Amino acid sequence: MANPETLRAPVPAERMSRVKESPSSRVADRVREFRAAGRKVLPLTIGEPDFDTPDHVKEAAVAAIRAGETKYTSANGTPELQRAVTARLRRKTGQTYAPGEICVGGGAKQLIFLAFMATLDEGDEVVVPAPYWVSYPDMVTVNGGLPVVVPATADEGYKLTPERLRDALTDRTKWVVLNTPNNPTGAVYSEAELRALTDVVRDHPHVCVLCDEIYDEINYGARPVPSAVTVAPDLKERIFLVNGVSKAYAMTGWRIGYGAGPARLCAAVGTLQSQSSSCPSSVSQAAAVAALDGGREFVDRTVAVYTERRDLLVAGLAAIDGLRPTVPEGGFYVWVDASALLGSTTPSGKRVATDADLAEHFLDTSGVVVITGDSYGAPGHFRASFALSSEIIREAVAGLARSVESLRR
């Protein structure tokens, strides 16, 4: 029998010191704690649609179960889902992808992680424009890369400019990340803006572009949202498009994402998946086929609702002295400049020195929960979701107004 004194729990690898818990998950845990304590919270943090998955999608999953489609599939997805993804990308981008140029995973998030794992060597650089989705820098870091954060200002529409991109590129740059529509700002790159950025990339043959387009169906302007591969088809071998069914079809828990790009990269992603999760859920893949093939009725209906909620939230926040919201072009978040409130004092005499202090004040005084701007690489801001009912949005805006009014400036 082993000596108890010699038994030790596994020691986390050094790489774990480089990665942090997702701020979104941390805030969700905090909300659960407050609710468990009997406190009412108004979470403007929701990162998923509050609509139910469409019935025809759920029925497709039930039919797959009844037909016995409950076994392993290819690591890169069923032929049916690859066909549906290819058709969807042809409609959107005008480009045709072969089966080997499509990969399917347990959400777009997993595919981005696996793409970095498959391509980054120690010290390789990834250009990440800020404000950025919270997971990009940590995904790069845990896979041995170095995130090169490039700030984008309000005057620039919170978008990466060709000049800033050119200055950020080095011999070690492996990827440039473009998230359009952007989480958290809702910014959408126009065709002209994408063309200017891809012109810079064209001059650097060692640099590839990872386009995260997970919110592309939730947009409030031209359709479809422009894609880098459309404006620069000659760079198709250097562009990896990532998308999924989570946001557009209210299928976050089904965990299906897809990527399109060079066959060599998709094969590498498939290899990594075969050695980790084996394959995406067969039942979820059948549901995703129904979603992608099912027409636009659900998407158009939900975007119309999001538009009303967006306008309600933006107007409410803009009426609060000290808050400056940006009208999002896509997604379901409003990005708010709250820098004017930093340095103020709460009624209890505490100085609001950081984003965290401000968020704590909101929570304590009104029960409103937001995700702080520093989580997105842009201190002095916060993200507010409108994937919530209009009633909750009105109540949250009223709460924020009271919280801000109570500050001494």
Same domain as 172, residue 80: yes
- b/e 383-392 (16+ beta carbons within 10 angstroms → b): bbbbbbeeeb
Same domain as 124, residue 90: yes
pLDDT at residue 24 greater than cutoff 70: no
What 8-state DSSP symbol labels residue 351? B
pLDDT tens per residue across span 27-40: 667 777 777 888 88
Average pLDDT, rounded, for the chain: 95
pLDDT tens per residue across span 330-339: 999 999 999 9
> Which of 293, 322, 348 marks a domain boundary?
293
Q: With 0-12 CB in 10 A as exposed, 13-18 as middle and 19+ as buried, what is 122?
A: exposed
Range of the domain at 130: 70-293
pLDDT at 35: 78
pLDDT at 140: 98
Domain CATH code at residue 95: 3.40.640.10
Same domain as 194, residue 143: yes
- With left for phi above 0 and alpha for psi between -120 and 50, is residue 62 left, alpha or beta? alpha
Same domain as 307, residue 377: yes
Residue 235 belongs to some domain of the structure:
yes
CA atoms within 13 A on the CB side of 37: 10
Report the pLDDT averaged over residues 245-264: 98
* C-alpha separations of 398 from 123, 339, 355 in Å: 47, 20, 20
pLDDT band at 22 (very low <50, low <70, confident <90, very high): low
> What is the percent of the chain with per-residue pLDDT over 70, rounded to a whole number?
97
pLDDT tens per residue across span 183-210: 999 999 999 999 999 999 999 999 999 9
Q: For residues 356 and 372, is the Cβ–Cβ distance under 8 A?
A: yes
pLDDT tens per residue across span 85-126: 999 999 999 999 999 999 999 999 999 999 999 999 999 999
> What is the rounded distance in angstroms from the CA atom of residue 33 to the CA atom of residue 27?
10
Count of the separate structural domains present in the chain: 2
Between residues 36 and 135, which one has the greater pLDDT? Answer: 135
Between residues 154 and 19, which one has the greater pLDDT? Answer: 154
pLDDT at residue 9 greater than cutoff 90: no
Same domain as 287, residue 200: yes
**CA angle in degrees (0–180, nearest 5) for 132-144-123:** 95
Same domain as 303, residue 279: no
Residue 362 belongs to some domain of the structure:
yes
pLDDT tens per residue across span 270-320: 999 999 999 999 999 999 999 999 999 999 999 999 999 999 999 999 999
pLDDT at residue 21 greater than cutoff 80: no
Same domain as 211, residue 184: yes
> What is the rounded distance in angstroms from the CA atom of residue 355 to the CA atom of residue 371?
9
Same domain as 214, residue 139: yes
pLDDT at residue 152 greater than cutoff 60: yes
pLDDT at 305: 98
pLDDT at 163: 98
